[in-house]
Each structure stands twice: as C-alpha cells, then as structure tokens.
Amino acid sequence: MSSNPDRIFTAGLCIIGDEILSGRTQDKNIAQIARWLQVQGIRLAEVRVVADVEDRIVEAVNALRNANDYLFTTGGIGPTHDDITVDAVAKALELPVIIHPEARAILERYYADKGGLTDGRLRMARAPQGAELIRNRMSGAPGLKIGNCFLMAGVPHITAGMLDALTGTLEGGLPLLTETVGGFIPESEVADLLRTIEGAHDRCQIGSYPFFREGRVGSNFVVRSTDADELRACVDAMCDALSGAGWDFTPGGI
Amino acid sequence: MSSNPDRIFTAGLCIIGDEILSGRTQDKNIAQIARWLQVQGIRLAEVRVVADVEDRIVEAVNALRNANDYLFTTGGIGPTHDDITVDAVAKALELPVIIHPEARAILERYYADKGGLTDGRLRMARAPQGAELIRNRMSGAPGLKIGNCFLMAGVPHITAGMLDALTGTLEGGLPLLTETVGGFIPESEVADLLRTIEGAHDRCQIGSYPFFREGRVGSNFVVRSTDADELRACVDAMCDALSGAGWDFTPGGI
C-alpha cells in the first residue's frame, strides 16, 4: 500500500493476558509491534494490557479502535477456555461469531495427521462475521482482520509471522526517522542545552534516556523526525552544542 | 501494613515514555512491578503505555487512579524537557506544582560535589503540592506519593529501589498463590480437560500458556488462587486428569 505523506497514521495495541499482568511472562510484543509499525509509517500511540475478562477487553478495544487508524490485539486466540479475544472483539463490534470456513479448512489440513479437529481446536476457527484471515505459517491457527482491528497471537514468534504476512498491506504516512547520540553524559548536565536545541527545530523531537553502566552515569539522546534534512540539522546542532560544552559522545549511541 | 482478607486490592500502572512506544526500549517495569504487587497482596489490573504528551498522561492517570486502589507511574521524572510526569499528574489531581523542600535538600546534598544544583536538576525536586517522597538510594532524585498515586522512575533498577522503599507500606489483600505444571502437551489436546477442571474449582483460575521449544509444542498450565487448600486440590485434580489421559508433565512447569 502506498504511503500518504499528508498525515500521521496511528495504531493502538491491546495486549490480552493475565500472564503479563501477573508478571509471569515478560512481554515482548510491544517492542516488536512498535518497531514493525514504524517501518510501515504508523506510530504506536497507546498500549493497554488488560486481563482475560470480556468487559475489560471490550472497553479497551473500543477505546483504541476509535482513537486510532488501526488496532492490534495480541493473545487469547488459542483453543483453551481462557482464549476469549474473538468473543470480546465481536461484542465490541456488535457482530456475531461464526466458524470461518477457510480457517476451518486450514485447521483440518494442519491437524489431519495430529489427531484431527477436536472441539477445542475448532475454537481457533471462530471469527467475528466478515473477518479476513491473517496467515500463520507457524502453527496453522490464523490471525484475523475485521474493520480496522487486527487480532494476533500472543506467542511472540507467531505474532512475528503474522506481522510478516501484513507487511506492506496497511496505508501509512512517512516513516519516523531516528538518530541517536550517546555518551557518559549525565542528562541533568545538558537538560538546558537539549531544551534549546529542540526548541530551535520545530519538526524534531529529542528524547533523553539515561542509563547506569560500568558504575558510570550516561545518556542516549534520540532525535526523531519524518524529515531527513531537519533530522540531520538537529543532530548536527546537538553535536556542536555538546562538543562546545566539552562533552565526548558517540554517534549511534552507546 | 496489615493484609485485609475481605477484599481484592487492585493497581493500575501507567508507563510514560515515547521510548517504549517507539520500540527503542524493551519494557521491564511491567513484569517487575506486577511481581512486586503480588507479594503485597495487590493485583495489577491494567497497564497503559502512553506518549510524553500531557493530555494523554492526564487521561490515563485519571482513568487508572479512579478504577483502582492504587496507581503507579513509571518514567518522566528526570531533569530534561521531556520529563513532564509531575506536571501531568498535578493537572490530573488539580493540584499546583511546588518545589518540595525535602527533595531539594536531598538533591543539594547529592550534587554538592557534582557541580551543584542546576536549573535542570532542580526540576527533579518539583512535586504536586502535598506529595510525600519515595526514597531512591541509587541517584538522589526521589519518587513521589500523592493520594493513591505513586510516581516512580523509568530506569528499571531505580524503580526497583523505590519498590524496596515501599515494601510493606501498602494495604493489600491475600496474596495470589500460583502453581504451575508443564509438559510437551499441545494445549489444544487438553482444552476440554482444563475447562472441566477449572469449572469444578470455583476459587481457582487456570491459565494455559503454549510454547515452542526444541522444535516441539508444549504448554505450561498455571493455577491461581488466594486459598492454599483450594489451589492444592485443583492442581491435584488437574495432574490426575493429565495422567489419566496419558500425558507426561513436570510439576513447577518447564
């Protein structure tokens, strides 16, 4: 799909899963989906992590799909009793749940030599009426696209496969470009300098990300813009100012 | 603070940071705070990740503090221009922002031999009026407690220090107990079994978490309850049912 330079496209992400909220599982989908969206020219505007409770999912899905161009969900599309994403999204969209014939056919083939299509497995063919499939080469069970909502797996490498299948199919704007400069520089020493440089470059944002490493304090400064020339000018101005103040830094960040 | 067995205590978490939404930084605070809350007898009910934009922070802070016993925020309390958490939380609570005298004194001592308290560093003493400090042994700059809101650092090991300082000070309910059983068992093969076992144990929840490892499909089944006897009975029933169906499994999960 072509990119549209005239506006900013945004996405919301709803992560469905008690295992994230209990701290049992370290989420990896936020970063993975955020990076993929940037390449599509779409900005991740908000993430909500909600429990496996239908009302909570419905509320988050409606808030995020209405506030953004796209909504992605991860988790809760498997075969077990705690997989209720399809029902919740259908409820949010006021659509009935059907057995998707193409999904059923895919699962029948996938499980042909693995014991066949049990009731539990057939749950993975359920879809809000009108949904299209997002292919999943890893495990048979497809993701779903309905309206501006994309329902994906919770297991990160299956999600990755679904993102691959979607690459280039969504309308986006200009991709956000970033450049990083880092050093063993306490951010509190350069806070005024950063504020001045950002103020002088309207179309750029500067993020400051402190770290502690090898017993020393440092920061990475990330400049973001959709305009390559503006980005270059802002980074150059920041580097000149840091040099002028006597700081050592590393292009690319440390 | 004592635990209250009569009700469930919940917390919301608002993660403030463009660096998480851009995918630049892998979040580690959700899992860390979730695990700490469980030990305090408090359940993490929802997480929202929002951009460094005042209106977005205000909206999330108000939604989460009103829906839960506690609200935690991470990020945006440093010295730079993109650190706007204090202003946003003060706006949400309709409170003025003041320079906290005790925070100022801490920062003056901390920076005494590091160049003194510059304007940028003084920003870290700003607080909504009436806030108490959460001590931070790592970097001087304290976290803040105001009403049921706890404002903490974005850097995970500083957040960890602030959580240490809060341990045992919040009222909670009974801690949620969990037990895990795992095996190279496709969850779709035992979906009906899990549903039946959960249905027979009212005060327990069973989560099913599939994985792919060494080229094989498997699952961990996590049973959760606030009642140790109920938990034991549910786990035993699940293990009996899995054995009866011919599955090998490992207590503790794999």
pLDDT in tens, B85-125: 999 999 999 999 999 999 999 999 999 988 888 888 999 99
Task: Please indicate whether, in this complex, the C-beta atoms of B187 and A80 are within 8 angstroms of each other.
Answer: yes
**Which residues in chain A are contacts of B120 at CB distance < 8 A?**
187-192
Q: Which is nearest to B61 in space by CA: B33, B86, B97?
A: B86
Handedness of CA A37, A42, A45, A48 (dihedral sign): negative
Is there a shared CATH topology between the A9-166 domain and the A177-251 domain? no
**B-chain residues within 8 Å CB-CB of A79?**
187-188, 191
What is the enclosing helix (H) or strand (E) of A43?
A: strand A42-50
B212 and A19 in contact by Cβ < 8 A? no
Cα torsion A104, A106, A107, A108: sign:
positive
Identify the CATH number of the domain defined by range B9-166.
Answer: 3.40.980.10
At residue A1, the pLDDT reads 57
Q: Write the pLDDT tens digit of every residue in B62-74.
A: 999 999 999 999 9
Residue with tokens 């969504």: A170
Cβ contacts of A46 on chain B, cutoff 8 Å: 21, 48-51, 56
Residue to mutate among B14, B15, B22, with most A CBs inside 10 A, is B22
When scoring B16, B20, B21 by the number of chain A Cβ atoms within 10 A, the one with the most, hence best to mutate, is B21
Q: What is the mean pLDDT of chain B?
A: 93
| Contact check, Cβ <8 Å, B45/A51 | yes
pLDDT in tens, B198-254: 999 999 999 998 888 878 889 999 999 989 999 999 999 999 999 999 999 999 998
Q: Which CATH class is domain B177-251?
A: alpha beta
- Residue B218: what pLDDT? 92
Helix (H, G, I), strand (E, B) or coil at B226: coil
Q: What is the pLDDT along chain A (254 residues), one digit of tens a residue?
A: 557 777 889 999 999 989 999 998 999 999 999 999 998 999 999 999 999 999 999 999 999 999 999 999 999 999 998 999 999 999 999 999 999 999 999 999 999 988 888 888 999 999 999 999 998 877 778 999 999 999 999 999 899 999 999 998 999 988 888 999 999 999 989 999 999 999 999 999 999 988 888 788 899 999 999 899 999 999 999 999 999 999 999 999 98
Closest to A124 measured CA to CA, from A77, A165, A164: A77
Q: Which residues on A lie below 8 Å from B192 (Cβ)?
A: 118-120
What pLDDT does B2 receive?
Answer: 57
Place of tokens 């090991």: B157
Domain ranges of chain B: 9-166, 177-251
Chain A residue numbers with beta carbons less than 8 Å from the beta carbon of B157 are: 212
Distance from CA of B130 to the nearest CA of A (A): 25
Q: Are B23 and A34 in contact (CB under 8 A)?
A: yes
Sign of the Cα pseudo-torsion (B106, B109, B110, B112, in order): positive
For the record, the structure tokens of A226 come out as 């959709």
Residue A36: closest CA among A134, A164, A122, A144? A164
Residue B1 reports pLDDT greater than 70: no
Among partner residues A38, A44, A187, which is closest to B80 by beta-carbon distance?
A: A187
Which two structure tokens, joined as six digits, stand for B213? 């490892």
Give strand ranges (E) for B140-176. Answer: 143-146, 149-152
Q: Measuring CA to CA, which residue among A48, A21, A45, A152 is closest to residue B43?
A: A21
Reported as a single tens digit per residue, the pLDDT across A89-145 is 999 999 999 999 999 999 999 999 888 888 889 999 999 999 999 988 777 789 999
Per residue in B151-162, pLDDT tens?
A: 999 999 899 999
Rounded distance between C-alpha atoms, residue A44 and residue B126, angstroms: 30
Distance CA A73, CA A57 (A): 10
